[in-house]
Amino acid sequence: MNILVTGCFGFIGNNYLLYLNKHFPNEFNIYGVDSLLTNTSEINYENFKDTKNFNFYKEDINDTESFSNIKIDTIVNFAAESHVDNSITNPNKFIKTNVLGTNQLLQLAYKNNISNFVHISTDEVYGSKKTDYSNEDDILNPSSPYSATKASAEMLCNAFKKTYGMNIKICRPANNYGVYQQPEKLIPYTISNLLNGGNIELYGDGKNVRHWLHVEDTCSAVMKVLNAEENSGIYNIGSGEYFNNLEVAIKILKAMEFDDSRITFVEDRPGHDFRYAVNFEPLKNLGFIPSKTFDEEISHIVNWYKNNENWWKKDYLNVLNNRLERTKLN
């Protein structure tokens, strides 16, 4: 199978390449697309560029011309701007990548008769659920510019399904965690900050709940969806593990042998959703079973960041410089 993986050197995309290489080394000819805008993505590329059956295009997904004539069977679209704080500061950037970029890829797929298009969305499109669980047929209710652009991309996918008869499958994964996650996100930023003498910073009272999903389980789920016989389905991806941010902070402190004096509470983020929680029974019906647990993985993740400072340090310093303006519209 010839597969195009966009955003291939971001967090989930890079782990997906590693997953394909590990579990299906001879089954895919992989074409990767990434704009390589961060130091971490550049390092990911250097680590993967000599891999057999891999061809790379350094491109923005809004510029599809250089890879428009590749013979492709499947597109898996991981490419996205994904950090909520950054979307508050610069929503235009998120609209360009998440909405306009998805539109370009959908047109590419239609014009080249690509039979399978898997779009990676997010559970954040549902908005906050205080008590119950989000199902795939729920009305979308995004709260941030980030989740609004992901919901918009989904609407485009739905339009291309109906107008052009395309087979487009949508995945809505819960909060991913694991290695190779950029230092702007909660877990890697927390670990990096502690390693550099700083404290954990939690918004508000730290009680916002997230559904935590290991990135390798996300990769496994995407493969289940890709191979599903049903055309144009929508699938939540979850693990059944729910922790609030304070609980996550305490687990990290324990793994790093620090006490809770290293926790600082800061002003809450505007529009901060209280709880995400998805029902993922349709995915279970495809045979998906999450294999990772947070408590078993967090020490491994901490040790990975301790041993790979050269991977994250430059981008971490950029995050530090930008954090003071992270909740203000530029």
Query: Which one from 34, 81, 85, 123 is the annotated catalytic residue?
Result: 123
277 phi/psi in degrees, rounded to 5: -160, 120
Return the CA Rg of the chain. 19
Give buried/exposed letters for 181-216 (b at 16+ CB in 10 A, else e).
bbbbbbbbbbbbbbbeeebbbbbeebebbbbbbbbb
Q: Which helix H or strand E contains 41, and what residues bound it?
A: helix 39-48
Active site residue 31: no
Active site residue 257: no
The DSSP code for 98 is I
Q: Which residue, 34, 13, 15, 41, is CA-closest to 318? A: 41
Query: Which one from 19, 31, 126, 146 is the annotated catalytic residue?
Result: 146
Active site residue 268: no
Query: Which one from 124, 154, 216, 297 is the annotated catalytic residue?
Result: 124
> 201: which strand partners?
264
* Residues in CB range of 139: below 8 A, 6 or more apart: none
Output the CA torsion sign for 82, 18, 38, 250: positive
Residues serving a catalytic function are 123-124, 146
